[in-house]
Structure 1
């Protein structure tokens, strides 16, 4: 979950939407991806930014097959995953994940 979403809105609405869509989610409780908006781009922040991503997110992605979608709603999250060694993963937005399911509808509860 994007760090700003975590701080302001929380995860409950997304979790319920994904549950109703039949998506099995493994949510990493690891904090920020490290980019945090423009933080990781600022002079002197690169090492901290990469260290945050290497704490949990990037090792987990490298251990997960690329056939598993990475839900990353924040632009900065998707950028961080794209720029660093994520084992070939690219993040997608929740809307993209749900749109992909339209071709393969899931029966409602």
Structure 2
């Protein structure tokens, strides 16, 4: 759907999971495993992205993981579509 927005170049990060999986990453005993999963592909890709690159993640926990692990705000795809329609 994002590819339908004129002028928007879409790149997908090949990642199996952000590491949060709902409440998994919030639990103290899973915290280290959660971060290791996110560091496999997702967080390095977000950190390498240009500052003006939109970061899109549909999952609430994924957006939290991106914020906490890479210091970036990720948008839900519906927000990106809303901005494109404005």
Whether these two folds match at TM > 0.5 is: yes
User: What's the RMSD between the two structures over aligned residues?
Assistant: 1.3
| Length, aligned pairs only | 85
Find runs of 4+ consecutive structure 1 residues off by over 4 angstroms: none
Residue 33 (structure 1) aligned to one of 14, 18, 33: 18
The Cα shift of 1:69 comes to 0.5
Equivalent runs, 1:42-61 vs 2, <5 Å: 42-61=27-46
Deviation at 1:24, TM superposition (A): 1.9
Q: Which runs of 5+ in 2 are unaligned?
A: none
- Measured after TM superposition, the shift of residue 47 of structure 1 is 0.6
Query: TM-score normalised to the size of structure 1?
Result: 0.72
| Distance across 1 between alignment mates of 2:72 and 2:26 | 21
Structure number with bigger Rg: 1
TM-score, normalised by the number of residues in structure 2: 0.89
Residue 43 of structure 1: how far off its partner (Å):
3.0
- Which residue in 2 is equivalent to 1:100? 83
